[in-house]
Amino acid sequence: MLLAALAAGTVLLWGVATAALYGAMRQPPERFGAIMKRVPMIAMMILPFQPLWNSARSGVLQVGDSAPDFALPNLNGQQIVRLSNEYRVKPVVLIFGSYT
């Protein structure tokens, strides 16, 4: 009986921690980073981090949808480039990745 209660408590704790991690992943990047710097590494080994991340950050765009509009400073920081202004004038290709 005690073993069953301990197992149920462990499963409940794991479920609550998984839900809390998923909730944190749904936050804006700055808030998510602030939360994650306090999460112990052992939690990343026990909780299903990658499936949660893939679900939380999957987005809603489908193939063929227009990219959401955004504005970013150019390389020298002296001008703001807005996606919607660019693709009205010419085709735009967005490439996301790491160059390091």
Res. 20: pLDDT tops 90: yes
7-16 confidence digits (pLDDT tens)? 999 999 999 9
Give the model's confidence band at 58: pLDDT under 50 very low, under 70 low, under 90 confident, else very high. Answer: confident
The mean pLDDT value of the chain amounts to 89
Res 68: pLDDT:
87
- 14 with 46: CB under 8 angstroms? yes
CA 80 to each of CA 7, 36, 60, 86, 100: distance values in angstroms, whole numbers, following the listed order? 55, 31, 26, 11, 25
